[in-house]
Amino acid sequence: MFLGQRKAQVSMEFFVMIGVVFAIFLVLLFFVQAQNQSINELKLRTNQEQVCNVFATAVNSVYIGGSGFTAHITLPQDMSGISYTLVTDNRTGVVTANSEPVFCRLMTSQLNYTEPIPKGELDIVNRDGTIFIE
């Protein structure tokens, strides 16, 4: 009879140990998930900054280049499956994704385009000091 009780005690200790390991696993899973979300948010913000900077650099280069100067850029259709918009507001480019804006500085407010700025291949042209986005 003593042998049967010993087996039961070992089984119970085994289940307790499995429960403790499972609890630790759940806690670690929670922390990993939180870090993964943070990394995804940082990646999205980095993509927003990159799009804004590419756009601002092209607009500023065309503005400095003077009348007749043209730049060609390609804006992605989305950012890792997340849609975004690009608009300008008084010498500021604004890229918004997931309701979070990122800003970049433009050297001119003399822009002619349809809002929001289209995605894909763009020609940015300086015509007598006015920047056209086509």
Does pLDDT of 8 surpass 70? no
What pLDDT digit, counting tens, does each position of 39-58 carry? 999 999 999 999 999 999 99
What pLDDT digit, counting tens, does each position of 65-89 carry? 999 999 999 999 999 899 999 999 9
Chain centroid offset of residue 32 CA: 20
Give which of 63, 108, 73 is closest to 88, Cα–Cα. 108
Q: Where are the domains of the chain?
A: 2-133
